[in-house]
Amino acid sequence: MLRLLANGQHWKASLELRAGFERGAAVSVQDRIALAEAEAGWRNWEGVLEALAPDGAHPAEPPPRYWALLGRAQAAAGDSAAAAAALARFAEEASEDHPGVAAALSLLARVGVAERPLADTEAALAKLRSAFPVVADWTALEAARRLGAKGRPAETGSVLRGIRDPSVRRRGWNLIVDAWLAAGDTAKALASLDELAPQDDGRPSRLDLASRRWRYQLALADTAAAASSMTEVIGAATRGRMALEAAKALLAHGGNPEVALLLRMASALANGGEFGPAVRVWRTAESAGATLTDREGLARARALAGSGDRSAAVAEYRRLSASEDPAVAAPALAAWAAIRRRQGRDGDVRILEDRLVERFPAREEAVDVVFFRADDHHDAGRSGEALRGYRQVAAMSPSTNKAGLARMRWGQIHLARGEAKEAAEVFAAYLDDFLDGRRWEEASFWAARAAEAQGDTAAARRHAGRIRRESPLSYYAALAPDGPEEAYDSLAAGSATASVPAAPPPWLAREFETLAVMDEAGLEQGAAAHVGAMKSAARDSDELLFVLAMALGRAGRARDGISLGWELRERGRPWDAALLRLVFPFPHRALIEARAEELGLDPYLVAGVVRQESAFDPRAVSPADAVGLMQVLPATGRQLARSAGPRRFNRQSLTTPEVNVHLGALFLAELMERYGGDVPLALSAYNAGPTRANRWRRFPESEHPRRFIERIPFAETRNYVKNVTRNQILYAWLYGGDRGPGAGPA
């Protein structure tokens, strides 16, 4: 069990402990605390409560740690009163130098603020401030937020005034206002808001203040003042939630706005997806004498289509397509064709797209037409037609992204046909035109492969050598025919200009104590700000910045360490073994290796996925709500947990490295099995979903993994697969025993 805990496998440790309890042995308080610690390690707070008090009763005279765990679990369960009582008892019974006292005081000051006298919170803050003043300030901010939500403005203000750091206090600029609102006094909320002024650091901004002001004025039936504040918001922005809501409110309560304001309202509504109201406002503006510019006409046509009035949209696009301005006519033709495509009128689509290509061949819209026609031919195996299309794209607008991609596809078709000479010419021509273009690595790699196929070893060495010299950590360097070791070994042997002290300076060690308390107390916003402050303080010295980066990695903040590693590289530090391990770290190594062994996966592949997905940040959450190290969607995690555990899975479980890797690696293993061990296909499915991967596996290139990667249609997925592949190779070299560059930070 100790080995499991050392590896971060708290869930499995809890299973072993529970199994031991079930065998009938007497369960001591210390055993129950050990189980509660294991359950807390994977955020199973219900399990913590069961472990500590299975019959609802507390043991006689338990050690202080019992109360700390109980208080955290009760707080997580929403039982604030009980949590405050348990945490207060822990703070009373534990010695002042107990490592958990500061975090307990922080939690006590927050969870107990609504149930206990304010004096208790202030006493906890005072104790905390004597040891960790920064933690006390961030704790006070969170306590004030809770008081504000309870509608207690006087106490909210009292706690805010106790914050010593002005930058922390400014983050609570809205809390007294919110407290008056929660108390049901909108007039006092408005008065408090009017006392505030925009701050240089953006908290609050003029937009924040005006956006709040109109709501309160409207609630107080001061329609004229509210309309003025709404106008201020829309005058400052026509994009974003605040602009959209102000435009909708002004439409309902604003009387007869002037023409210029009507036009901005229409833009805000259209940008927010309120297409029908936007069209009505544009029509009102025209009735009031406004003449829409062609650009505004394009926006109105998009809104017409979005509102379902395709006939009117087509009429508008038809008019705009006659414009002599390519920036108007080209997008009008493209949008018109898109409507006809949705209507299934393929003949009209062809006519409109041909007109677009003929009139505006250099425009992005026209390039897209020809590229995707060639892509369709490519998908269908009509390589001759695809070649002609890709050549046309390259000629239409040579410097565009699609033109570069077309040239790479063009060269790949020649390789698929066994036409190495023609392929080499295509890739070499790209390099002649764009020596440092965005695809120079890709062109150089495939030029080397084509040269090899012809027996031109000199050209192959020249192209491959450039990749090793100029981009030694790229995907293409990792694919060197004789292995990447030559390039990697030369990097690891580099001599760094900055020496690395054996230990952080004393002041930095103290800052990390503060960070550890913030992490344990769950003060995420404060912890992030504290890390930012440490970075700022260390930037005058490359040596200190390196030490900070290493320490952040050890403190569970590998993402910050990685970013500082790249910053050091940009500041001129040469690559060496230490910097490579800083930029490509391997936190949670034992955990990842153990899970990979269970599933028959390459641990360096799993590490490569984690490095790409989250940069080893267990707190990472994507816009799609994918969580943790391997960015597992909660729905996917729940489905996998039904068969593989943990039994009490919840979204918060995914923020723990053990559960995240347990489920994420299982999903990867299932994909590897589904695709017969084909790593590029499995990675494509991991990133873009199995449905798309199933479609892509029908490409002829799927028989050739490297060429298949180049054929992946989505740039995001294509780059994802390349980066994970590079990571896997680099991690195997860095951490694979005798193959690695020697001892270093693991």
User: Which value, to the nearest 10 degrees, does the dihedral of the CA atoms of residues 404, 465, 724, 488 take?
Assistant: -160
Start-to-end CA distance of the chain, whole Å, equals 23
Q: Which amino acid is at 21?
A: F
Residue 741 has what pLDDT?
A: 46
CB neighbours of residue 468 within 10 Å: 18
Per-residue tokens: 74? 């009760």
21 band by pLDDT with thresholds 50, 70 and 90 = confident
Burial of 513 (0-12, 13-18, 19+ CB in 10 A): middle
Q: Does residue 64 have a cis bond before it (omega within 30 degrees)?
A: no
DSSP state, 655?
Answer: G
- Domains of the chain, by residue range, sit at 361-471, 506-573, 589-739
Q: What's the rounded Cα separation, in Å, for the pair 400 and 394?
A: 8
How many residues belong to the chain? 746
Q: What's the rounded Cα separation, in Å, for the pair 372 and 378?
A: 9
Judge whether residue 19 has pLDDT over 90: no
Judge whether residue 500 has pLDDT over 60: no
Q: What's the rounded Cα separation, in Å, for the pair 270 and 301?
A: 10
Residue 54 has what pLDDT?
A: 84
Per-residue tokens: 125? 């803050």
Residue 557 has what pLDDT?
A: 97
Residue 744 has what pLDDT?
A: 36
Judge whether residue 326 has pLDDT over 80: yes
Predicted structure pTM score = 0.93
Tell me the three state secondary structure of residue 627. strand
Q: What's the rounded Cα separation, in Å, for the pair 471 and 467?
A: 5
Tell me the three state secondary structure of residue 626. coil
56 band by pLDDT with thresholds 50, 70 and 90 = confident
Residue 132 has φ and ψ, to the nearest 5°, of -135, 80
Q: What's the rounded Cα separation, in Å, for the pair 482 and 563?
A: 31
Per-residue tokens: 298? 């394009």
CA separation, residue 491 to residues 210, 350, 741 (Å):
55, 53, 10
Q: Which residues are catalytic?
A: 613
DSSP state, 632?
Answer: B
For residues 265 and 299, is the Cβ–Cβ distance under 8 A?
no
Rounded to the nearest angstrom, the gap between the alpha carbon of residue 315 and the centroid of all alpha carbons in its chain is 41
Could you write out the DSSP letters of every residue in 282-301? HHHHHHTT----HHHHHHHH
Judge whether residue 25 has pLDDT over 80: no
Within 8 A by CB and 6+ apart from 373, the residues are 389
Q: Which fold has domain 361-471?
A: 1.25.40
Residue 504 has what pLDDT?
A: 74
632: β partners:
627
CB neighbours of residue 57 within 10 Å: 7
Rounded mean pLDDT, 325-333: 97
Find the range with the poorest average confidence among 4-13, 263-272, 701-710: 4-13
Give me the helix-helix angle, 101-111 and 133-149, nearest 10°: 20
Mean pLDDT, the chain, rounded, equals 93
Per-residue tokens: 252? 């309902």
501 band by pLDDT with thresholds 50, 70 and 90 = low
Nearest alpha-carbon partner for 162 in 149, 150, 175, 151:
175
Rounded to the nearest angstrom, the gap between the alpha carbon of residue 518 and the centroid of all alpha carbons in its chain is 22
621: β partners:
627
> Which stretches of 584-656 are DSSP H helices?
589-599, 603-613, 634-644
Q: What's the rounded Cα separation, in Å, for the pair 487 and 478?
A: 9
For residues 274 and 244, is the Cβ–Cβ distance under 8 A?
yes
Find the range with the poorest average confidence among 422-426, 473-477, 496-500, 605-609: 496-500
Rounded mean pLDDT, 383-412: 97
Judge whether residue 350 has pLDDT over 60: yes
Q: Which amino acid is at 166?
A: P
Residue 746 has what pLDDT?
A: 31
Q: Which fold has domain 589-739?
A: Lysozyme (1.10.530)
For residues 143 and 121, is the Cβ–Cβ distance under 8 A?
yes
Contacts by 239-247 with C-beta closer than 8 Å and gap 24+? 239/268, 239/271, 241/272, 242/207, 242/208, 242/211, 243/268, 243/271, 243/272, 244/268, 244/269, 244/271, 244/272, 244/274, 245/211, 246/210, 246/211, 246/214, 247/272, 247/274
Per-residue tokens: 614? 């989250």
Give per-residue pLDDT as tens, 435-473. Answer: 999 999 999 999 999 999 999 999 999 999 999 999 999
742 band by pLDDT with thresholds 50, 70 and 90 = very low
Per-residue tokens: 250? 């002004």
Judge whether residue 116 has pLDDT over 90: no
Residue 595: its H or E element: helix 589-599
Tell me the three state secondary structure of residue 621. strand
Q: What's the rounded Cα separation, in Å, for the pair 712 and 701?
A: 10
Q: What's the rounded Cα separation, in Å, for the pair 547 and 21?
A: 45
CB neighbours of residue 164 within 10 Å: 13
**% of the chain exceeding 70 in pLDDT:** 97
Give per-residue pLDDT as tens, 57-99. Answer: 888 899 999 999 999 999 999 999 999 999 999 999 998 788 8
Rg (CA), the chain: 31
Judge whether residue 498 has pLDDT over 50: no
DSSP state, 702?
Answer: G
CB neighbours of residue 187 within 10 Å: 11
Give per-residue pLDDT as tens, 197-245. Answer: 888 777 899 999 999 999 999 999 999 999 999 999 999 999 999 999 9
Q: Which amino acid is at 433?
A: D
CB neighbours of residue 238 within 10 Å: 21
Per-residue tokens: 15? 């299973």
Judge whether residue 279 has pLDDT over 60: yes
For residues 638 and 649, is the Cβ–Cβ distance under 8 A?
yes
Find the range with the poorest average confidence among 312-316, 636-640, 734-738: 734-738
Per-residue tokens: 505? 């300076």
Rounded mean pLDDT, 106-133: 92
Tell me the three state secondary structure of residue 475. helix
Q: What's the rounded Cα separation, in Å, for the pair 38 and 36?
A: 5
